[in-house]
Structure 1
Amino acid sequence: MKSLLVLLAITVIASCGTRPSSTSDSDFSKAMKLDTTQFNTLHEKYKEPALFYRRFKHSDIDSLIKVHAQNKVLLVDQIGKSVQGRSIYELTYGEGDINVMLWSQMHGDEPTATMALFDLFNYLEGKDDGVSEIRDLLKNKLRIHFIPMLNPDGAEIYNRRNAQSIDLNRDARAGQTVEGALLKARAKTIVPRYGFNLHDQSIYYNVPGTKNPVTISLLAPAYNEAREINDIREGAMQLIVGMNEILQQYIPDAVAKYDDTYTPRGFGDNFQSWGASTVLIESGGLKGDPEKQEIRRLNFIIILNALIQIAEGSYKRYEAAHYEDIPFNASLLHDVVIRNLSVGTDSIALKTDIAIRRGETTIGRDYFVRGRVEDIGDLPESIGYDEVDAEGLHFVAAKVSNDVVNDISSLTIEQAYALLKQGFMAISVKTRGATKESSLHGLPIHLFTQKQFFTTSSIDLGGTTNFYLGDSSGNLKYAVFNGYLIDLSKDVNYLTFKNRVH
């Protein structure tokens, strides 16, 4: 391993506040880590370019897997089919004695780790890049089994559940579904010593006591209702302490733990009870990363780092007690929080806070959002990806333009923004487009083909979010457009709007 350190100019990273366990550091004198620069370089080199949006399909990964099969570095097996007949694959790397299982996208709308696994496949097939000794380490010590898309039917329509409307992660006990039974059978055949259960969680979790979204959530699932800690679960905790150590260098104070309530139907809990030190990785939220490409990179890094530490045994140097230092998810985050906004009438005054979230609706490989009022009232604990103190400002209803445009291409973002600054949030368009996908647009204004379009007339719980914040002189300061907060004092805003023609 010394030659590996020289070859890679490896920087051993300080333990970030962790202490070595009762195992002596000298027992792991060969333990190593890539530093952040080296990890970044590796991911940039091996990132799979065919996957760049969250809503990829089974056909996308099927074609990629066929390429990997031809490369003959990873052993590719079709281990089964989904309810609707889509192939489910397992890719295997290594010839070692330690079995590791990783499974992703058992929920069809949770694809972040799937992208990271294909980046990892590219890395494992690499050569002549100065990191061959790492691949040799993994190859000689481990036998790694990857199931990159367990729920292809759900992925096809970007849906959590399978084609039978069953949550696969609640089918470990009964094995009622073909996909759940398949994963259970593979676990019984492989008998993994380590497991990685890869998911996406809500983007609205925050780190307690902070305004930070939880970008990565980790968990060593309980194996019984008492949530006891045996050697198996302790190993998962130690792995997580190592993951948190490196994540803090990328996303300080943006890591939390997922709820550890024992779930007898859950796969993570059962893998833990079956003797596999199992780590749950949940990809959360990060401002400015709607397609989760940065979070994808973090998945690649912490999974690769964990595999290296398993191969070396070096994760055992971490004190499992430091797992408890990671806080549990809180759930106070919203897309927008407006504070102290006057929304009352002439007869009844009301100054209040408003919390807004945007829901997504999938159309093919894309989506649009609908902003809604999530909460109203005294909300000092609520936080937003975007926030504004509206003290001195009041609710102003938006207007609908009397003009008509031919189609989406007839209106530039600059023209739409100019209309928005004049108090218009909607304009009529003659044609919606030939397909559902063609009706999607990124303009900061609503386009509609209906006879009428109604903007927000009052703030109602669960209601729409198309209004302005204005001052007493009639000046419009902010637009709250479909759940997006837009500062009108700034030049044209190139936010990633996700809208559709009504």
Structure 2
Amino acid sequence: MKYIYICNMKDNLQLATEYLYESIQGRYVTATHLDSFLETLPSVFKISTVGFSVKQQPIKAIQFGEGKVKILIWSQMHGNESTTTKGLIDYLNFLHHNENEFESLSKLVTFYIIPILNPDGAAAYTRENANGVDLNRDAFECTQPESKALRTVLETFTPDYCFNLHDQRTIFGLLESQKPATMSFLTASYNEARIFNSVREKAAAVIFGINNELQKYIPNQVGRFDDSFNINCTGDYYTNRGYPTILFEAGHYANDYSRDEVRKFVFIALKAAISFINENDIVSNDLDNYLNIYQNNKCFYDFIFKNVRINDNNVEKNIKFAVQYKEVLKGNRIEFIPEIIQIENLDTFFAHQTIDFENKLYEYENRNFPKIGDIIKV
């Protein structure tokens, strides 16, 4: 069965821009922000509490639809990865304000959505939960209350697809295009050999559909994430259990450290994935197309400074060094602290911005040579 959604003939980037939920912006997104959005939703979006965090914060879920295809979506498993949460909120905002789209989609799909799985980590802006545990490495043992809440939902809802939403650091890029990996995806492995069974192939086909749509807006900036197997990782464990699981990774876009542009591409990816699932017979012949997506590499820095003159033991020479932002929570906002992270050996790396030091002498704390950790004005 095929069903094509049309919304005033606007393209998906226009829709993502129009329905961006402006009350939530920037990198710091917490359960309080989420609650303010949930209050705007009508009763057709069923809000429930599916568990509690280590610090007893409620873990909220949204359910709607009555269709045959069941999709489970969760975001902010890592508390400091909020871009996909924003894109997910924007997509829900779009459905809220487009009744025909909502009703048509609800006939085809049943959704179970957990926008912030790790509310303690979101509040503290940490990857881990309040016990210092990375929830994305707790899938097999399932020791944490947040992990148990997700596992319970998985086993009771028994989804046809899982969308596992994350952010990735600005260090990820694509060697072939020499561009940042603005969005990346993965059909998680189910065994050490990384064999593609029917479960992985179903997820790969959807990623192929997502990639086709995103190439219209961010050509050569879509990556394929590494598929090394780790049974402790959520995607790998769920795929091993027979649930097609797609990893979404929101990365860097030019000058968008707040990631309020990248959230639009998350919106597009979600919309494209859901449309592809409903409009196509999912078959394995899309596997080669999936494997042709450029693979992610750790090949970028935020800044590379070149032509930097230094004086090291009375020897002058010109060098390069790389600077990476360190994200620090100050009050209710994130500050970006630029630190030197690599000196020399940068020939195989790219930069989001290259700064020519024009042969000026390096000066920092009464020395004329750099050290790892120096704070640099950019």
TM range (shorter): over 0.9
Aligned to 2:56: 85
- Structure 2 match to 1:443: none
Q: Tell me how far apart the structure 2 counterparts of residues 389 and 108 of structure 1 sit (CA, whole Å).
A: 36
Structure 2 counterpart of 1:95? 66
Instruction: Indicate if the aligned counterparts of 2:125 and 2:329 stay in contact, CA closer than 8 A.
Output: yes
Q: Which residue of 2 aligns with 1:459?
A: 369
Task: Give the conservation status (yes or no) of the 8 Å contact 1:242–1:315.
Answer: no
What is the CA–CA distance in structure 1 between the aligned matches of 2:16 and 2:354, rounded to whole Å?
Answer: 33
State how 1:33-72 maps to structure 2 within 5 Å. 37-68=10-41, 71-72=42-43
SS of 2:323's partner is: strand
Matched residue SS, 2:188: coil
Q: CA distance change for structure 1 residues 393 and 176 in 2, over 3 Å: closer, same or farther?
A: same
Asked if 1:267 corresponds to 2:234, the answer is yes
Question: What is the deviation of 1:308?
Answer: 1.5
**Paired residue type of 1:46:** Y
Secondary structure of the residue aligned to 1:464 is: coil
The residue correspondences of 1:70-469 to structure 2 (distance < 5 A) are: 71-127=42-98, 132=100, 134-314=101-281, 316=283, 319-344=286-311, 347-390=314-357, 393-397=359-363, 455=365, 457-466=367-376
Q: Secondary structure at the match of 1:351?
A: strand
Unaligned runs of 5+ in 1: 11-36, 398-453, 467-480, 485-502
Cα distance in 2 between the residues matched to 1:63 and 1:463: 38
Question: Partner amino acid for 2:118?
Answer: N
Kindly state the Cα deviation for residue 258 of structure 1 after the two structures are TM-superposed: 1.4
Query: 1:277 & 1:396 partners in 2: Cα distance?
Result: 52
Structure 2: tracts of 5 or more residues without a match: none
C-alpha contact 2:312 2:369 (8 A) present in aligned 1:
no
Q: Displacement, 1:101?
A: 0.3
SS in 2 for 1:261: coil
**Are 2:306 and 2:355, in contact at CA under 8 Å, matched by a contact in 1?**
yes
Q: Using a 3 Å threshold, how does the CA distance of structure 1 residues 135 and 264 change in structure 2: closer, same or farther?
A: same
1:318 & 1:74 partners in 2: Cα distance? 36
TM-score norm. by structure 2 comes to: 0.93
Q: Is the 8 A contact 2:311 2:369 kept in 1?
A: no
1:243 & 1:84 partners in 2: Cα distance?
37
Matched-pair contact (CA < 8 Å) for 2:160–2:243: yes
Query: 1:345, 1:142 → 2: CA distance?
Result: 64
In structure 2, the CA distance between the partners of 1:136 and 1:41, relative to structure 1 (3 Å rule), is same
Aligned length: 378
Secondary structure of the 1:206 match is strand
SS at match of 1:84: coil
Partner SS state of residue 67, structure 1: coil
**1:193/1:275 contact within 8 Å kept:** no
Give the Cα–Cα distance (whole angstroms) in 1 for the partners of residues 96 and 207 of structure 2. 26
Partner AA of 2:315 in structure 1: I
> Would you say the 8 A contact 1:101–1:144 is kept in 2?
yes
2:361 is paired with a residue whose SS is: strand
**Pair 8,89 (structure 1): closer, same or farther in 2 beyond 3 Å:** closer
Whole-Å Cα distance in 2 between the matches of residues 82 and 216 of structure 1?
Answer: 29
- Over 3 Å counting, the alpha-carbon distance change for 1:465 and 1:90 in structure 2 is closer
With a CA cutoff of 8 Å and minimum separation of 6, indicate the structure with the bigger relative contact order: 2
Q: Comparing 156-165 with 265-274, which one deviates more in the overlay?
A: 265-274
Separation in 1 of the partners of 2:184 and 2:98? 32
- What amino acid maps onto 2:369 in structure 1? I
* Counterpart Cα distance in 2 of 1:235 and 1:142: 17
Q: Work out whether residues 71 and 161 of structure 2, in 8 Å CA contact, stay in contact via their aligned partners in 1.
A: yes
Q: Percent identity?
A: 29
* Matched-pair contact (CA < 8 Å) for 1:214–1:329: yes
Give how far 1:191 is off.
0.7
State the shift of 1:340 in Å: 3.6
The amino acid across from 2:361 in the alignment is F
Aligned equivalents of 1:8 and 1:59: distance in 2? Answer: 31
Quote the Cα distance in structure 2 between the aligned partners of 1:188 and 1:98. Answer: 16
| Offset of residue 305 of structure 1 | 1.4
TM-score calculated relative to the size of structure 1 = 0.71
- How far off its partner does 1:9 sit? 7.0
